[in-house]
């Protein structure tokens, strides 16, 4: 089974996600972009799983979803915590720790 297009889409999504992480300022958007990256990987995992005819990829994808959820939950928690401390929600303004 030809999965070329799936991979192209997946790579595109990944790049969009990566681009978003690099260029966007709002941590919520960054979090969304991270999800994009993870889901891009999921897409290719499932496509590969289909290609190889074994379920490893699917299982992997399932687990990745959970992990992604945990990451988002923690991220959201941190963002809310910062938000409630009235800190600027803009990663470029997090000036405390600049190298």
Partner 1 sequence: MTSALVTAAARGPHIDWAGLSPLVALAAGGVLVLLVGIFLGRSAKHVTPLLAIAALAASIGLSVWQFGESKSIISGALAIDDLTLTLNFILCATGIAAVLLSWRSRAAQVAGHAEYYALLLLSLLGMLVLVGAQNLVTLFVGFELLSIPLYVLCAAEFRREGSLESGLKYLIVGSVGSATLLYGLALIYGATGSTDFAGINDALRDGEIAGDVLMLSGVGLTLVGLAFKASVAPFHQWTPDVYQGAPTPITAFMAVATKVAAFGVLLRLFDVALPTISPDWGPAVAALAAITIIVGNVGALGQTSLKRMLAFSGVAQAGYLLAGVVVGTQLGAKATVFYLVVYAAMNIAAFSVVIARERASIWGDEISAFAGLGRSQPLLAWPLTIAMLGLAGIPVTAGFIGKFYLIDALVSGDYAWLAIVLVIGSMISLGYYLRVIAAMWMGEPEAASEPAAAGPAAPTVAGAPGAPPIMAGGSQEADELVDGVQPEVLGVAWLATAVILFFGIIPSPLFELAGKAGESLTGIF
Partner 2 sequence: MLTTYGPAIVFVVLGAVIGGVFVTAGSLLGPKRAGSTREAQVTPYECGLPSEVRGNFRFGISFYLIAMLFILFDIEVIFLYPIAVQLKAFGTFALVETIVFIVLLMVAFVYVWRRGALEWK
Partner 3 sequence: MNVILPFAEVGFAEAWWIQILKAVIIFLVGFTMVPLALMLDRKLMGRMQMRYGPNRVGPFGALQPMADIGKLLFKQQFRPRTSVGFLFAVAPAISMVCAAGAFAVIPFGPVVDIWGADVGLYGIDVSIGILFVFAFSALSVYGLMLGGWASGSKYSFLGAMRSAAQLISYEVSMGLSLIGVVITAGTLSLTEIVEAQAGMWYIIPQFVGFIIFLLAAFAETNRPPFDLTEADAELVGGYSTEYGGGRFAAYYAAEYFHLVIASAIAVTMFFGGWMLPFGIDPPQWVDPIVVIVKTVLVVCFFIWARTTFPRPRYDQLMSLGWKILLPLATANALVTAIIVVVTH
One DSSP character per residue, the chain reads: ---HHHHHHHHHHHHHHHHHHHH---HHHHHHHHHHHHHHHHHHHHHHHHHHT-SHHHHHHHHHHHHHHHHHHHHHHHHHHHHHTT--S-GGG--TT--
Among residues 28, 54, 76, 77, the one that binds partner 3 under rule CB under 8 A: 54
Among residues 23, 28, 56, 90, the one that binds partner 1 under rule CB under 8 A: 56
Q: Which does 32 bind (CB under 5 to 8 A by kind): partner 1, partner 3, partner 2, none?
A: none
Interface mask toward partner 3 for 55-74; x: CB under 8 A: xx-xx---------------
Chain contacts with partner 3 (rule: CB under 8 A): 50, 54-56, 58-59
């Amino acid at each position: 089974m030809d999965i070329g297009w799936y991979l192209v889409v997946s790579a595109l999504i990944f790049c969009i996600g990566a681009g978003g992480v690099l260029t966007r300022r709002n941590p919520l958007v960054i979090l969304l972009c991270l999800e994009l990256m993870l889901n891009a990987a999921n897409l290719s995992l499932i496509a590969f799983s289909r290609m190889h005819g074994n379920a490893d990829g699917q299982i992997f994808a399932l687990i990745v979803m959970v992990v992604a959820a945990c990451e988002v939950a923690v991220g959201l928690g941190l963002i809310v915590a910062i938000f409630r401390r009235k800190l600027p929600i803009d990663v470029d303004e997090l000036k405390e720790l600049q190298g």
